């Protein structure tokens, strides 16, 4: 089976792809790609086999309870074996780099969350293929606040540098890996006419690597465009952290980008097969744009009521004109004000440890705001 090529030339000549290349100092013709389009039909067969078995025998719920921290949940032997194997760190894992990447994620505080939400997540809806599994699993019906809470919750849990971070990282990665498998099995069963030649297998290996790029390339670029300083070691750490997390999610390590050049090489390959934004893309983008959970960190009611303006301002600053137009992202009056304020704030220095501690508190506070808001959604 073959997946059809699409025309995404504009993304690399006038859109965010061009921005990435300029930022990275890389000429597009120097990007080398040895990736095979079969990656769009490859998926985590080991997890699917196990999850299908666990669902049939009724143990899937106990496994998820165990991964949520319940030591009394009864678990099958094959899960215990898989979990033990994941506890053995691969030879290529560098703990110090993982710590550097985790500390940057924490240090970024609210700024990092603004970039993830209004650039990586919102900008990702431009690629229609990515939206199809979301729609098939009910993302539109559940609402944007649920997706935000679970996506940011996953990101927070895998990117801490606290004493229990390693165990928490593995548990949330395995939970997510198994949920991906359960979702894939459900989609294949519920939609027997799924258009694999257009979209590939649901939640395929190629799309998993593209999601990695949202948490690495998009994240670091967005921070730096907002004048948030990122050292070379921190950037290497973010890529290494997400190589490890993506490996835990079931992707072979040799396929996962380790730096901005490798990320751009893969992304250029991947975008060549992505359908243009459609009605699902526009609906998901619209839902996210109009999701404006008040952030309790902002003490003034006026600021809390201005979250929509803040989010749209950041989106307009980071997302290229053509993508904003395709996703029908509205412009804002005096759109340069919020980015200018954020850039000024980021230019004010503070010691790294203070930033890490403060940033961690900020992110946990915002996550709690989303959790509370999702209860009533």
Q: What is the pLDDT of residues 178-231, one digit of tens each?
A: 999 999 999 999 999 999 999 999 999 999 999 999 999 999 999 999 999 999
Long-range contacts for 9-17 (Cβ within 8 Å, ≥24 apart)? 10/322, 11/126, 11/271, 11/322, 11/323, 12/268, 12/271, 14/320, 14/321, 14/322, 15/320, 15/322, 15/323, 16/123, 16/319, 16/320, 16/323, 17/267, 17/268, 17/271
124-226-298 Cα angle (round to 5): 90
| pLDDT of res. 33 | 80
Residues of the chain with pLDDT under 70: 299-305, 376-377
| pLDDT of res. 269 | 95
| pLDDT of res. 377 | 58
CA distances from 34 to 31, 254, 263, 304 (A): 10, 12, 13, 48
Write down the residue that tokens 């959970």 correspond to.
293
Picking from 32, 105, 44, 48, the residue whose alpha carbon sits closest to that of residue 257 is 32
Report residue 333 CA to chain centroid gap. 29
The 10 Å Cβ neighbour count of residue 349 is 8
| pLDDT of res. 376 | 66
| pLDDT of res. 50 | 96
| pLDDT of res. 301 | 56
The 10 Å Cβ neighbour count of residue 299 is 7
pTM: 0.96
Torsion on CA atoms 149, 153, 154, 157, rounded to nearest 10? 180
165-102-180 Cα angle (round to 5): 70
């Amino acid at each position: 089976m073959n997946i059809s090529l699409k025309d995404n030339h504009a993304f690399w000549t006038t859109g965010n792809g061009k921005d990435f290349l300029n930022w990275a100092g890389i000429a597009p013709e120097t990007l080398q790609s040895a990736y095979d389009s079969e990656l769009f039909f490859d998926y985590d067969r080991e997890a699917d086999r196990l999850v299908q078995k666990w669902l049939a025998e009724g143990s899937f719920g106990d496994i998820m309870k165990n991964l949520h921290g319940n030591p009394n949940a009864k678990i099958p032997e094959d899960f215990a074996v898989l979990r033990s194997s994941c506890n053995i760190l691969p030879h290529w894992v560098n703990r110090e780099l993982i710590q550097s990447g985790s500390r940057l994620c924490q240090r970024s505080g609210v700024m990092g969350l603004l970039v993830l939400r209004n650039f990586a997540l919102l900008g990702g809806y431009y690629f229609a293929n990515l939206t199809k599994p979301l729609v098939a699993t009910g993302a539109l019906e559940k609402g944007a606040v649920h997706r935000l809470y679970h996506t940011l919750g996953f990101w927070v849990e895998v990117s801490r540098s606290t004493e229990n971070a390693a165990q928490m990282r593995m548990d949330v990665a395995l939970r997510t890996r198994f949920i991906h498998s359960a979702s894939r099995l459900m989609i294949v069963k519920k939609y027997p006419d799924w258009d694999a030649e257009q979209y590939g297998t649901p939640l395929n290996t190629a799309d998993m690597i593209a999601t990695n790029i949202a948490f690495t390339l998009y994240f670091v670029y967005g921070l730096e465009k907002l004048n948030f300083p990122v050292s070379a070691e921190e950037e290497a750490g973010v890529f290494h952290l997400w190589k490890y997390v993506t490996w835990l999610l079931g992707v072979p390590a040799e396929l996962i980008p380790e730096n901005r050049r490798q990320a751009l090489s893969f992304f250029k390959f991947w975008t060549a097969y992505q359908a243009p934004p459609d009605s699902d893309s526009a609906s998901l983008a619209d839902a996210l744009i109009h999701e404006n959970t008040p952030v309790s960190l902002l003490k003034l009611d006026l600021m809390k009521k201005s979250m929509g303006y803040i989010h749209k301002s950041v989106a307009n600053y980071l997302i290229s004109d053509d993508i904003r137009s395709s996703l029908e992202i509205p412009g804002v009056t005096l759109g340069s004000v919020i980015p200018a304020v954020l850039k000024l704030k980021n230019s004010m220095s503070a010691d790294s440890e203070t930033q890490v501690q403060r940033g961690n508190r900020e992110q946990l506070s915002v996550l709690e705001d989303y959790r509370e808001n999702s209860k009533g959604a």
